[in-house]
Amino acid sequence: MAQQFNPRDITWLGFNARVLQEAKDATVPLPLRIRFLGIFSNNLDEFFRVRVAGLKRAMDFKTKVIQESFYEAPSKILQKINKIVIDQQSDFEKTWREVQKEMAKQNVFIKDSKSLSAAQKDFVVKYFDEEIESNMIPILLHENVPMPYMRDKSLYIGVAMRRKEWQYESKFAIIEVPTTTNSRFVILPTENKSEKNVMLLEDVIIYNLPHIFSYFGYDDFEANCFKVTKDAEFDLDNDIKTTLADKIEKGIKSRRKGKPTRFVFDKEMDKALLEFLIRKLNLSKKDSIIPGQKIHNFRHFMDFPDVFKAYEKPVERTSFTHQAFDNKERVTDVIIKKDILLTFPYHTYTPVIDLLRESAMDPDVKSIQLTAYRLASNSKIINALVNAARNGKDVTVMLELRARFDEEANLQWKERLELEGVKVLVGIPNKKIHAKLCVIKKRVNNKTIQYGFVSTGNFNEKTAKIYGDSMLMTANRSIMADINKVFSVLNKPKADPTAILKSCKTLLVCPQFMRDKIIWHIDREIEEAKAGRKAEIIIKVNSLSDKILITKIYQAAEVGVDMKMIVRGIYCAVNQKGFKKKIYAISIVDEYLEHARIMYFYNKGKNDFYLSSADWMSRNLDYRIEAATPILQNDLKKQLKHMLEIQLADNVKARVLDKNIRNEYVKGDEKKLIRSQIEIYHYLKNL
């Protein structure tokens, strides 16, 4: 029987539909509903920039390998995507209308250029004159002049201008809304102090169009917003004389030439202007041309101003210090004595920063090595490492310059770190460095002591407040030995890493070897199930699309292994006929982004656990340096098992992952509602 798989891109759209469900949920606080709308929009933008662009490129290749890598013909997937996206856009707009009704109940209103009071009109004119006009450049469009460069993430106003006495001739112009220099949201003055009026930046500009184009003599304006999403991928040239940093910098500039993958516009836009834009952007029927409502680039609404009635933030949404660090003992001293499991954002990220700060000041510390993928904009991690370098420590940072959409920021970090005397590694050819590792070495009484941490998520104190991740802080000698092996590979980018990575005895590492070890663990559970003994596997990942591992999961289900999956996003597996025990698969979408990767294998009651940086995707397992650490202490194993069981019992925010991606909520005992993120908080708090 042929095995079935769901196309990864279709299942990803299913995940984004779950995000939209949170915006629709009336029990979610209003500011968070708006934020979820912004997240949905931002997710969709990146999806078109990366995945849809990739599908369009794949259509140019007719080989069977290309077709199989997408699980279905790219052209068919694109047709499905367009239909789903249009339906989701309609659902989004309906949700936004409902949210605005709720906003009105709190006396919060979004004003456009036609609904201003006299005082507000004066304010908008003055605000435009003082704050906006110098930051924007109107561009007139001409049939015989090439279209000006359109920025990928920008919002544009398309303007059709006429004279009232002569309506048969139109002039077109575009204006880029300057959201990089001005806030998207302008708070207007109101006579009623209990009422809050917010005006979008584009509407402030639209109100001032007669002033902007006054020298042309036009007095009739139609203005509507649109945006263009472009292919964000870039190829790195193979010039061996060029450094990776130079190649990345060149690649960032090449994004300017990316082909449009989506054109979204206000469906009320002037028809002649719309036709002009489509023609000048060289868009065709096969491109995603999507009519929408008035507001675009909704990602800015993730930072909607705080104008609502204060709602009492649940105590469960407040991070607390791990019990091991409640006393005055140094973080260093605690983790040298025993392993500590941090679970973010329930636990505060402070001990991680404190550990690096202690190491920067400790005269016995000789070196610090750390991998960095996505950093906070004002990174305390980097500040601590810079201080360590200034204090004479040997500091090495593996900085992944190819972290998508963080390339420019990481180039800037590279420059700063090198100026401060930090050794910056930039990876090995054709392999992204995605492992989350840190090793610190100190010398005491002629003895070297090593300690550090391994994480499922980035070393980023900002995202640690909203991403659900796990980190093992440890001084385990075998774990530290393997981390050193990974760094020895990173220090020799031109050498073959295979032999060194294969020699890792404790960490599971990619490429190749992590998958092999996962298969070994699954095979062992399969043998137990065949023998009629208990066999259980729980996998928590962000994405599951690797065909080899999915096939192995199918084999486990066929013989009755108790397979449970918690997958936030992409989920390509499908329950097949003939499974002795069906796979139980759920996705949890709540206020925190579920980001941890955790693997559990029963192993005759020994309970093998791993924290991993890798999703179960071919790109992670074959084309990245990744690392998974075992959990060796029984008390920490019990913690992880209990937290996984809480998530598997969720009947508030968990959705069933089925073949048709219907996103139906898990049904359970209505008298005993289990919202896993709340329950995990209480569990950890009471340890």
Residues identified as active-site: 434
Burial-class residue 282 by CB neighbours within 10 Å (0-12, 13-18, 19+).
exposed
Distances in whole angstroms, Cα of residue 641 to Cα of each of 275, 614, 684: 58, 19, 13
**Residues for the chain: how many in total?**
687
605: alpha, beta or left? (left if phi > 0; alpha if psi -120 to 50): left
Provide the angle, in degrees to the nearest 10, between the axes of the packed helices 676-685 and 634-648: 150
Contact 362, 392 (CB under 8 A): no
36: alpha, beta or left? (left if phi > 0; alpha if psi -120 to 50): alpha
Q: In the chain, helix, strand, coil percent, each to 5?
A: 40, 25, 35
Q: How far apart are CA 613 and CA 628, in angstroms?
A: 6
3-class secondary structure, 117: coil
319 token code pair: 């991070």
User: Checking DSSP bridges between strand 654-656 and strand 394-399, what pairing results, if any?
Assistant: unpaired
Distances in whole angstroms, Cα of residue 444 to Cα of each of 363, 448, 449: 10, 6, 7
Following DSSP, what letter does each residue of 455-482 receive, concatenated? ESS-S-TTGGGTEEEEEEEE--HHHHHH
Beta bridge partners of 425: 398
Q: How far apart are CA 317 and CA 435, in angstroms?
A: 28
CB-hemisphere CA count at 13 Å for 414? 22
| Sheet strands (E) in 24-155 | 108-111, 138-140
Q: How far apart are CA 323 and CA 327, in angstroms?
A: 8
Cis peptide before 178 (omega within 30 of 0): no
Contact 461, 381 (CB under 8 A): yes
628 token code pair: 């998974």
Of 542, 548, 684, 565, residue with least CA distance to 622: 548
3-class secondary structure, 440: strand
Contact 608, 537 (CB under 8 A): no
Residues 6+ apart with CB under 8 A from 257: none
360: alpha, beta or left? (left if phi > 0; alpha if psi -120 to 50): alpha
Q: How far apart are CA 200 and CA 177, in angstroms?
A: 10
Distances in whole angstroms, Cα of residue 242 to Cα of each of 249, 253, 256: 11, 16, 21
